Amino acid sequence: MKRSITSLFVTIFAIVLPKIASACATCSSQMEEFDMTGTIGVLFFMGSLMMLLVGWLVVKSFQSKTPWVSASGPEYDGEGEFRVPASKLGTITLLLVVTSIFSLIASAYYIRMSIGDWVPLNEPALLWQNTGILALSSFAIHWAQSASKKDHVKQVRTALIATGIFTFAFILGQIATWQLLYDQGYYAFTNPSYAFYYVLTGLHIVHLLGGLWFWGMSTIKALSNKTNIDDIKTSIECLTLYWHFLLLVWIGLFALLLAT
């Protein structure tokens, strides 16, 4: 019995899986319609995200002793499980969603690019300056975070306001690139590369605006003298995470635009 099960598994792993793998490889090379390499890369990335989440849950399911043998008092493996605050966990989950949005649209970009009528985008040089400004905003909010850890209220205020200014400047800069392209006669319907440019930058701006909403709430709290600095430490931490992440997303998008 045991041997037959073992041989079944050996068959699956030794024969069936390589077959499927080789079929996948052929399938990607033989797809005449699309160039699937970019898409498969994106899917692989999404898959690893999923595996990470689920793998963690599976590992947890082993750590607990047989759940049905119990009643020996409250074992609390909740303790030490998440020492991060709930809002930080929520932010991380949100970042997963954002990752999903941008990787899917990148995969759509790759697929659409492989269809005949694609004319590569003529990137406005202004994008380099904008990238620098966004990086500055990321530095500024990082400064706010480290200042809040040291309880320097005044520095936190300055840093937060600097973050806001740089971020607004970045958004205005991005809109200026739209105006530049528009003036040169590159409309959204001119070519899908321009349509994708407007969508990608637009979505990124929307995410920044969402971040600015929460930035506004924290900044108002930070500016008021009644607020205890400890109350906004976690929110500043979440904001920092979010800002760094959006900088990362932007660098990824910019690289995608430059490379194609």
Partner 1 sequence: MAHQAMADTDVELYHPKTWLGKWVFSQDHKIIGYQYMTTAVSIGLVALYLSVTMRLQLAFPGEFSIIMPNEYYQAVTMHGMIMIVYLLTAFFLGGFGNFLVPLMCGARDMAFPYVNMISYWVYLVSVLILVASFFVDGGSSGAGWTLYPPQAITPGTPGAGVGGGNMGIILMLVSLAVFIVAFTMGGLNYLTTALQARCRGMSLMRMPLSVWGIIMATILGLLAFPALFVSAIMMLLDVTLKTSFFMPAVTSLGETLEHTGGSPILFQHLFWFFGHPEVYIVALPAFGIVSDLLSTHARKNIFGYRMMVWAILAIGVLSFVVWAHHMYVSGMNPYFGFFFATTTLIIAVPTAIKVYNWVLTLWKGNIHLTIPMLFAIGFIFTFTHGGITGLFLGNVVVDLPLSDTYFVVGHFHMVMGVSPILVIFGALYHWYPKMTGRMLNHKMGMIHFWVTFLGTYAIYLPMHYLGFLGVPRRYYAMGDASSWIPSSAQDLNVAITIAALFVAAAQIMFVYNLIASIWRGEKADSNPWKATTLEWQTPDTPPKHGNWGPSLPVVHRWAYDYSVPGYEQDYLPQNLATEDSKQ
Binding site for partner 1 (CB under 8 A): 20, 23-24, 26-27, 30-34, 39, 46-47, 49-51, 53-54, 57-58, 60-61, 64, 67-68, 70-79, 81-82, 85-87, 89-90, 93-94, 96-97, 100-101, 104-105, 108, 111-112, 115-117, 187-189, 192, 195, 198-199, 203
Q: How far apart are CA 146 and CA 149, in angstroms?
A: 5
Indicate the residue among 116 and 225 with the shorter CB distance to partner 1: 116
Q: Is 173 helix (H, G, I), strand (E, B) or coil?
A: helix
Q: Which of 260, 211, 221 has the alpha carbon at shortest distance from 98?
A: 211
> What residue type is assigned to position 167 of the chain?
T
Indicate the residue among 46 and 241 with the shorter CB distance to partner 1: 46
Least Cβ distance, residue 128 to partner 1 (angstroms): 26
Indicate the residue among 39 and 167 with the shorter CB distance to partner 1: 39
Indicate the residue among 110 and 166 with the shorter CB distance to partner 1: 110
Least Cβ distance, residue 54 to partner 1 (angstroms): 5
Least Cβ distance, residue 169 to partner 1 (angstroms): 26
**Total residues found in the chain within this entry:** 260
Least Cβ distance, residue 137 to partner 1 (angstroms): 24
Least Cβ distance, residue 84 to partner 1 (angstroms): 9
Least Cβ distance, residue 157 to partner 1 (angstroms): 24
**Which are the contacts of 214, defined by CB distance < 8 A and separation ≥ 6?**
235, 238, 239, 242
> What residue type is assigned to position 13 of the chain?
F
Are residues 197 and 121 in contact, defined by beta-carbon separation less than 8 angstroms? yes
Q: How far apart are CA 60 and CA 62, in angstroms?
A: 5
Indicate the residue among 67 and 185 with the shorter CB distance to partner 1: 67
Q: For the stretch 199-224, what's the b/e string if a residue is b when 16 or more beta carbons lie within 10 angstroms of its beta carbon?
A: ebbebbbebbeebbeebeebbebbee
